[in-house]
């Protein structure tokens, strides 16, 4: 059903009715007097009623105009409240960040955020530490503004920036017999008991592809889905593990763990920052992405 009322002419009518002046209404609405007069004339024609009566230079509402004004006051006030609500929401979202990261990314993210928060006050950040697959899903769905994974993404619907490089290192307890070796061969490792990540982990996938698939006789003692639990198990001597070097910096400095090079094995990998290629991120997310990219330790294609 076609109606003679819309958001534009309702605002014009309400202003004229409240101010009893086309001139004052035009000034308030920041438009011209002819435009206001035309809007009123079109409304009266489409509604087939006279809304205003002119006496001298004054405008007065007719009975029909009074009835309409009672409704337009409510509509205009409701629109103002909606605009204010949206404005507050937009203002709040300008400093709200949602980040999804794999475990390895979490060892670099605090440093990046600390540097960024020196530039942006009152930043509200939510960080989800999860699997690489879930990071990709979160970014694609829009639940996360930025994602960080320690591998190449499975899908092509991302803008990808390599912001750091990591490598897996063979870590052992400080008192482990291998701790004194300058290097070790794969044959020597076949007798050890390994602590491994869950199959969905990027670290597990990398070690499977480059090490474990080469021999059928590896012994997995523990499978653990949390990197801190793996570090604790290493310190207790429950086995050895290929683990992110970034994740054990403190343990290496304190001397509770040691790393041994493995002959002929390269376990380097890029840390990739993901954004959705088909969506524009929030301004604050774009600024953070640029900040991190400017501090990237490596700049090669993922």
Q: What is the pLDDT of residues 104-136, one digit of tens each?
A: 999 999 989 888 888 777 788 899 999 999 999
Query: What pLDDT score does 87 carry?
Result: 64
Alpha helices in 118-248 (DSSP H): 132-141, 186-189, 202-210, 227-235
- Output the pLDDT for position 134: 94
Structural domains of the chain, with CATH: 7-89 (1.10.10.10), 96-163+274-294 (3.40.190.10), 165-269 (3.40.190.290)
Q: What pLDDT score was predicted for residue 2?
A: 58
The pLDDT assigned to 262 comes to: 93
The whole-number pLDDT of residue 117 equals 80
Q: Which residues contact 112 (CB under 8 A, 6 or more apart)?
A: 288, 291, 292, 295
- Counting as low any pLDDT under 50, the low residues of the chain are 1, 298-302
Q: What distance lies between CA 9 and its chain's CA centroid? A: 40
* Confidence (pLDDT) at 250: 93
Note whether 142 and 276 are within 8 A (CB). Answer: yes
Task: Note the pLDDT of residue 90.
Answer: 57
Ranges of beta strands (E only) in the chain are 52-55, 58-61, 96-101, 124-129, 146-149, 158-173, 193-196, 219-223, 241-244, 257-260, 268-276
| Per-residue pLDDT, 302 | 46
* Dihedral over Cα of 151, 156, 157, 160: its sign: positive
Q: What is the pLDDT of residue 278?
A: 76
Q: What is the reported pLDDT for 121?
A: 72
Is the torsion defined by CA of 205, 207, 212, 214 positive or negative? positive
C-alpha separations of 90 from 1, 84, 94, 138, 282 in Å: 34, 10, 6, 21, 10
Strand partners, 243: 169
> What pLDDT sits at residue 300?
45
Q: State the CB neighbour count (10 A cutoff) for residue 183.
A: 13
Decide: helix, strand or coil at residue 76.
helix
């Amino acid at each position: 059903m076609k109606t003679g009322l819309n958001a534009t002419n309702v605002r014009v009518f309400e202003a004229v009715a409240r101010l009893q002046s086309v001139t004052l209404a035009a000034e308030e609405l920041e438009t011209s007097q002819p435009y206001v007069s035309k809007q009123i004339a079109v409304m009266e024609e489409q509604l087939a009623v006279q809304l205003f009566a002119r006496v001298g230079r004054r405008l007065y509402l007719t009975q029909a105009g009074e009835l309409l004004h009672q409704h337009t006051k409510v509509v205009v006030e409701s629109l103002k409240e909606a605009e204010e609500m949206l404005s507050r929401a937009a203002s709040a979202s300008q400093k709200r960040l949602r980040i999804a990261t794999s475990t390895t990314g979490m060892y670099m993210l605090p440093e990046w955020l600390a540097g960024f928060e020196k530039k942006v006050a009152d930043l509200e950040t939510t960080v989800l530490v999860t699997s690489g697959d879930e990071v990709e899903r979160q970014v694609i769905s829009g639940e996360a503004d930025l994602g960080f994974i320690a591998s190449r993404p499975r899908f092509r619907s991302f803008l990808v920036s390599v912001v750091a490089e990591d490598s897996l290192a063979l870590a052992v307890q400080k008192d482990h017999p291998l701790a004194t070796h300058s290097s070790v061969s794969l044959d020597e490792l076949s007798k050890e008991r390994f602590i491994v990540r869950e199959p969905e982990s990027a670290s597990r996938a990398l070690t499977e592809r480059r090490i474990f698939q080469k021999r059928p006789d590896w012994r997995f003692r523990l499978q653990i889905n949390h990197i801190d639990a793996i570090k604790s198990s290493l310190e207790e001597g429950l086995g050895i593990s290929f683990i992110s070097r970034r994740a054990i910096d403190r343990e290496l400095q304190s001397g509770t763990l040691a790393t041994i090079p493995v002959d002929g094995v390269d376990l380097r990998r890029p840390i990739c920052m993901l954004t959705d290629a088909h969506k524009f991120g929030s301004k604050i997310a774009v600024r953070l992405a640029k900040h991190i990219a400017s501090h990237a330790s490596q700049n090669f294609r993922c």
